[in-house]
Amino acid sequence: MSVGAVAIAPSRAVSPKQIGIAGIVLAAIAWVITIPPIESRGMVPTIVLAVLAVCAGAWAIAGGERKIGSEAIVVALFAVAGAAASVNSAVSTLESVFTWSALVAATLRYATPLLFAALGGVISESSGVINVGLEGMMLMGCFWGVYGADLLGSWVWGLVVAAVAGGLLALLHAIFSVHLRANQIVSGFGINFLALGITGYFLEYHYGPNGTPLNISMIPNVKIPGIQHIGFFGAAFGDANLMTWIGIALVPALTFFLFRTRGGLRLRSVGEKPRAADTVGVSVVRIRYTAVVASGVFAALGGAYLSVGFVGSFSNDMTNGRGFIALAAMIFGKWKPWGAFWAVLLFGFGNAMSDRVSSVNPTLGTLFEALPYVLTLVAVAGLVGRSRPPAADGIPYVRD
Amino acid sequence: MSLLEDELKAEAEESQGAAVTSPAALTAFRRGASGVMVPIVTTIIAFIAAGLIVLATGHNPLSTYQSIFNGTGLNWVFPWVTGGERATAAGNLQQTLLQATPLLLVGLAVAFAFRAGMFNIGGQGQYTVGLIAAVWIGSSFSGMPAVLHIVFAIVAAAAAGAVWAGIAGVLKAATGANEVISTIMLNWIAIWLGVYCFQLGGPLQNPHMSSTPVSSNVVAGAKLPVFWGSSTLQGLDIGIFIALALAVVFSVLINRTRLGYEARTVGFNPDAARYAGVNVGRTWVRVMLICGAFAGVAAALDILGWKFNVFTNDILTSQIGFYGIAVALLGRNTAGGTVAAALLFGALLTGTSDRNIHLSIDPTLVQYLTFMIEGIIILLVSTDVITLRLLKGGRQLRVALKRKPSEEAPKSDAGAS
């Protein structure tokens, strides 16, 4: 109608949030143009884009979107630092670090064990039980997977034995957190210590100082005939492990289960409002037990991939904190399967990058090991602040 | 009504009549009952359970435990242990106390956060940055007067730890970031930072040993004086007194100062504390700063007391952050409890270490047995129900017998139907 309405219209069409997201994207582009395949050798385009990103961030902050805005600014700063590093490196160095197909393949390799454990965490915490014991359950999968594959001669049995061992340890966690109403974070730490002790004890008891045998049956890689020899896709996806594909398939499957089926609805209702679920006849105790045991099975399968699918042997404490990273990925991913998926890819990418950088410059490679953790810290301060765990997460249910 | 409260009520009724069942009385009872007895009984149960595993795998648990006990050096207190055996025991006991010192401090770092309602999983990272600071200062400034140098290194390590923990506190206060996830991330950042510093070609790597990933050695003037045992064979240094003094500081801080009061208030209920005028965010930050300082001092005492240098492998394999959590939990987050728990865990670590070759069973097996014992202890600590049940089993039985059958009958009917 009036002139004023027309003047306001453009700013309504683009919300401060979208401006902030645009700022983040611009900042990312500012770095990406300095690495293969574009490899811009000057800082000018990067700086122009970064300044635009900072402006967008400032605009978003002025519009009330403080978190997204400040993220755009932080990402822009990282991008300038990253671009400076790329521009000052030789082209050959850049190309050996950023061999994208190899990076993607390595990212998937590193992300697979984390993905299984993180999905397990999603299941357990959706039902209202915090699972800090993921680390221990993974470790059980690592050892008993090798034990099963060695004793019964097949990686299939290795996976079965691993799943049973992880499930049993998870059952113990369930007894403590559901029936005995333990502090679940504390009991989760107990589970981790217990798993460290059990796996170490039985490694020594069964195999002694020589360690596990080297010729166990391993989980095979899947060679996809169609794309195996097609350049980038062949190198990136043509020879990935079976567990990687199963893990990726589980993400939409679990999303469908949680949000589109009756069982999933019940699981989430128990995690959000156990009293209401109980009132309409859903057994809180049974669902929580099932969910915790399932999370143990998932985590153990991730652990089994690590030992039976990747390394081929077991060494003490070989999960080395991956269960905690999976836990962080789950929180980072806002307690959702797809969120956890993107988060574990970030961690996997960080590991893959540091591998590649190490091959060129070992000193710098070590610092890159810390990169995914730094990024998570930044993201937790910004993004995840707004996300919310299931309402009854960590609270034991007491029936009147 | 939880199981636990049922039992506490039954207990209160038995001892003082039905009148005293107020929440305050229950709390008082709970503190009394769980203060000393629960951790002790918990520990005993854990030892029995782990003993069963030893038995099941074909070893003798009693002789295993006896050799662990002798390995800890605690047999030194017996006057009938003499001669060479006594000298060995003294050496082992010094080792136990050396191990207990950092455990106590990292335990305090976890416990202080717990009292303010926070879970400090970052002990590992705070200890690691403390290591970096302590070994850097301790191996530089070789001309400095000894006392000044030691104080400087300890303060630097405390400051490094405080900053590291403070990041998590500030993030929680400013953006609501969960301290569990941020301290886990900070642990890994600190670990890789440490590896970066001391690896081959790293900025703090020993320049005289270019092929070993190790820091420079702490100069003679910055080493803590040894007061028991040989100063060349890892005798006991005065670090343990510093740690014990800090346990007293912890106790005073939490019970007798305004910050401690505010921290406990926030721990009970942040919303209520905010309503009562406590600046909750500022309390979180201050508490984390103090936690980090405790963990940083732990690292300084290790470095200046007996380690004198840091290998990258030490940083990658250290488990002290998790031990600290176990120590704080078993010690019920009190100063005295943490001292006792640190002593227990220090003894377990020493008693099961590879050094004790006289063990009747493979020392590696025993080391993992320790992890199992610790796991069971933490599991039992996570819930009071089991241990309280056991403690009160006898008394409850008597109460049940005293009740009239008519009171008991409908209850058991309800249970059966």
What's the domain count of chain B? 1
The residue that leads in pLDDT, B164 or A316, is: B164
A228 vs B324: CA distance, rounded Å: 50
Q: Which of residues 66-85 of A touch B (CB under 8 A)?
A: 67
Answer whether A194 sits within 8 Å of B202, measured CB to CB. Answer: no
Percent of chain A with pLDDT over 90: 43
- CATH number of the domain that residue B255 is part of: 1.10.3470
Beta bridge partners of A240: A222
- Selected for mutation to probe chain B from A179, A185, A203, A366 (highest B CB count within 10 Å) is A366
Q: What is the pLDDT of residue A389?
A: 79
Q: Reply yes or no on whether the pLDDT at B12 is more than 80.
A: no
User: pLDDT digits over B46-68, tens only?
Assistant: 888 888 888 887 788 888 888 88
CB proximity A388 to B under 8 Å = no
In Å, how far is A24's CA from the nearest CA of chain B?
19
- Selected for mutation to probe chain A from B198, B368, B386, B387 (highest A CB count within 10 Å) is B368
* A182 interaction partners in chain B (CB closer than 8 Å): 379, 382-383
Answer whether A182 sits within 8 Å of B379, measured CB to CB. Answer: yes
Q: What is the pLDDT of residue A381?
A: 76
Predicted ipTM? 0.82
Nearest Cα residue in chain A from B213: A363
Answer whether B174 sits within 8 Å of A381, measured CB to CB. Answer: yes
Q: Where are the domains of chain A?
A: 13-91, 100-386
Please report which confidence band the pLDDT of residue A170 belongs to, taking 50, 70 and 90 as the band edges.
Answer: very high
- Selected for mutation to probe chain A from B186, B199, B371, B386 (highest A CB count within 10 Å) is B371
Nearest Cα residue in chain B from A347: B185
Answer whether B199 sits within 8 Å of A363, measured CB to CB. Answer: yes
Asked if residue B257 belongs to a domain, the reply is yes
Of A200, A363, A380, the CB nearest to B368: A200
Answer whether B180 sits within 8 Å of A185, measured CB to CB. Answer: yes
Q: Which domain holds residue B342?
A: 103-351
User: pLDDT digits over B206-217, tens only?
Assistant: 999 888 999 999
Q: Reply yes or no on whether the pLDDT at A17 is more than 70.
A: yes
User: pLDDT digits over A191-227, tens only?
Assistant: 999 999 999 999 988 898 888 888 889 999 888 777 7
Q: What is the pLDDT of residue A99?
A: 79
Mean pLDDT, chain B, integer: 83
A344 with A329: CB under 8 angstroms?
yes
